[in-house]
Structure 1
């Protein structure tokens, strides 16, 4: 008795063919007049989101079949071009067909989710909110985020004798203790030591800001001072990092008398403050102080992000 081995790729192809025919008919691809059938039902236009979503699902199923071919012996999978997504651009993702299939399946699923949301009958604001949530979920499910499905991480673990895993666990414990994810080594920088090293002093403060004036480094300075207003969500020293990339140090070296706003970290006691307060107690107050100290009748201003607005 001969046993036939099921061909999953053929089974999937037959399934797709049947579903595609259904989508073609529901989507208006069939000509009722030519077939002698009744006209499409009046509710058909309202089925458009479902039809578009089904098309996206079929496209993903076709792409996902490459994973089957790569995972099952004897089916084989043709060479794939590098993924446009930089998370999967390394050769390690293409050297093993299992990882290549997983990558293509994930990217296809991500695209299907996006297209389903685009076709959903939602108003713009709701669609944007759902889009934000779905992006977080889809990105979190990336194969690159899991050791078992990330060939680059696996290779690094082998090459380092497991040291990379130990270091990763150490950083995880540190972040867990802080209650937040760190983007850099917080202990590597200290204000006044290797960031914000340009000499200056606080010349004014109120409930919302401190105003810093920097010491001149040239024999003469311009008559009109320069006031810099950074975003409220950034520390002032984003403009005074290291000597070789400090905008403040560069401006002082060009003969400008530089004033820089340092915004207070808003707490519950600042909850009563509104936009007008930030404008009057922040920007306008800083301008008045800079003019009073310099004795000038005008001030040059440079604002970033909301500081510029």
Structure 2
């Protein structure tokens, strides 16, 4: 789609251009040379003109320095989030073009109309009006107390509802294309919100007046830093250090390959369950989502529950991994299982797979079963993992043929820059993870918060291009994993119906990445004893929910129910974390306790290890 004013085909670049022109308008107003002698500064008191002029000079100098190339990242433009990603998503943007062209012009004209009201002097009524539409983006009283801004945001909300409704009513198109159209419509109307723009956000205008433009100077520093970094910043980048205040559970790296490091954590109890636990986190993120601060760490909690815990730390892809495919990750899981068994002299392990690593664990179990080696895994737990992708949710909007081709073109040197994947997940929740930060970081000039989960969210990993393309094509597009023997790995056909291992499945009620209805479908494809638990919250908070926090809830019920809706209808709600329920399930599978000594203590007498946890792979960029 092309912005008719600028001719720019990138919506976010057009947004930046508009913001830049808004800055120029303000600069022109408070620069003395822009006014004739005796001119009033306008409807607002501009304060000390020296301060305003200084702010303007800072803005101009920073932007000119960046545009001259002094701040540009080495190796060319970075995949700024979300600007470059919008280009990558040209497929569904074009799909939306025909259906939205008239509406977009209507919205643009409407916004311009209400922007014109800002130049008029509007009397304050003193009474806060009762408005028909509520939205937390406009919760500040400034959006209601001034009639112009009240009408502006209410008109926007009305048009936004109309756009989405119109997209939902489109007939005569393929259902997947219609879903893409609705998704694109929501993304576009969120980008058009008046709170995203300097001259149509009364909170930003007031902050600009109060600080004499210093908020814009600070915001410009944030913007330039993000453009240079190639990624939108959500949290204070200096607040956390791996091994210092996050990922600090004591342990050692006991095994290493070109693809992963295996970390064993030191016991905190005198006795431990004989059968060890090995956790496979997704390689699209860093493993320490399960080892944030001690008060949130699943790993530390599991260690304190008397489990011998191993975790795989995957290597972020580089050029050496250009030929890595799904078979390699399956072989890696089997290798990790065997290393743990041999190291501790146990027959089997309990295994956990999170998200994509859970999908892979299901394939691993099927292969072991086909080979007659299923007894290597005593139980398998799946955190928000899908095997049936028919109802895979909004991520399906990014996997048509045109988008896969575009993604392939972005994979330089055989791997996909993790910033593109981060942009994908951010766009799924654009209002919260993109535009909220555009307003706070760039317009209001707010300081970044220190938030461990957001720090992890921005700590991206690169993906092997061959694996990524095949995964999207075979699973998201083809849904082949649930078709017996439609796929094979490491020379063995994959048939999920061969799996008879005891299974625990956790899904998040509000998960937008692996929807609960999609995760539920695993219960229909495996043959082992299966326990399904529905947790409150989403893809991350639904998993990372320490019992001490006393947050959320979970539901247990009949895993043989026909559908998730039927499960929910008959389920029992329990307050708090589901972790103790899972630990009781593990205990119910049997197994004796043994002394926490010998190689149960990594790095002890005679035990050769590689390095301290969290290891070096998690720190590689």
CA contact (8 A) 1:221 1:255 kept: yes
For 1:126, the equivalent position in structure 2 comes to 177
User: Does residue 1:87 correspond to 2:169, yes or no?
Assistant: no
Preserved contact between residue 94 and residue 100 of structure 1 (Cα < 8 Å): yes
Q: Is the 8 A contact 1:239 1:248 kept in 2?
A: yes
Structure 2 SS opposite 1:245: coil
CA distance in 1, matches of 2:255, 2:346: 17
Question: In structure 1, the residue corresponding to 2:316 is in which secondary structure?
Answer: coil
Question: 1:150 and 1:91 mapped to 2: Cα distance?
Answer: 12
How far apart in 2 are the matches of 1:260 and 1:210? 8
Any idea what SS the aligned residue of 1:221 has?
Answer: strand
Q: SS state of the match for residue 272, structure 2?
A: coil
Q: Which runs of 5+ in 1 are unaligned?
A: 1-51
Q: What do residues 202-256 of structure 1 show as CA deviations (whole Å, max 9, x unaligned)?
A: 1122232211111122222221111111122110111111122211112222221
The CA deviation at 1:94 is: 0.8
Corresponding residue of 1:221? 272
Aligned to 1:308: 358
Counterpart in the other structure of 2:306: 255
State the shift of 1:195 in Å: 1.3
CA distance in 2, matches of 1:298, 1:130: 48
Deviation per residue, 1:69-111 (Å, 9 max, x gap): x99989x9x9332643221122221111111111111112222
The answer for the alignment partner of 2:235 in structure 1 is: 184
Determine the structure 1 residue equivalent to 2:166: 116
Shift of 1:305: 1.5
User: 2 CA distance for matches of 1:130 and 1:199?
Assistant: 49
8 Å CA contact retained: 2:251, 2:265? yes
Shift, 1:136, TM fit: 2.6
Alignment partner, residue 237 of structure 1: 288
How far apart, CA to CA, are the structure 1 residues paired with 2:160 and 2:255? 52
CA deviation map 1:107-133 (0-9, x unaligned) = 122222222222323211222223333
Larger relative contact order (C-alpha < 8 A, sep ≥ 6)?
2
1:82–1:94 CA contact under 8 A, matched in 2 = no
1:122–1:266 distance in 2 versus 1, CA, 3 Å: same
Q: Distance in 1 between matches of 2:210 and 2:344?
A: 61
Secondary structure of 2:149 counterpart: helix
In structure 2, runs of 5+ residues without a counterpart are 1-98, 360-621
Q: Which residue, 327, 336, 350 being the options, matches 1:286?
A: 336
Structure of greater Rg: 1
Q: Is the 8 A contact 1:83 1:89 kept in 2?
A: no
1:207 pairs with 2:258: yes
Q: What is the distance in 2 between the residues matched to 1:142 and 1:154?
A: 16
**Comparing both structures, which one devotes a greater share of its residues to helix?**
1
Alignment counterpart, residue 248 of structure 2, candidates 197, 200, 204: 197
4+ residue stretches of structure 1 with deviation over 6 A? Answer: 70-74
Q: Kindly report the root-mean-square deviation, in angstroms, between the aligned alpha carbons of the 2 structures.
A: 3.2
CA deviations over 1:129-166 (Å, ceiling 9, x no partner): 23333333221211111121112222333444544323
Q: How many residues align?
A: 248
Change over 3 Å in CA distance of 1:88–1:251 after alignment to 2: same
Report the TM-score when normalising by structure 1: 0.70
| Residue 274 of structure 1: how far off its partner (Å) | 2.6
Return closer, same or farther for 1:161/1:96 CA change in 2, 3 Å cut-off. Answer: same
Instruction: Give the aligned partner of residue 168 of structure 1.
Output: 219
Indicate the residue corresponding to 1:141 in structure 2: 192
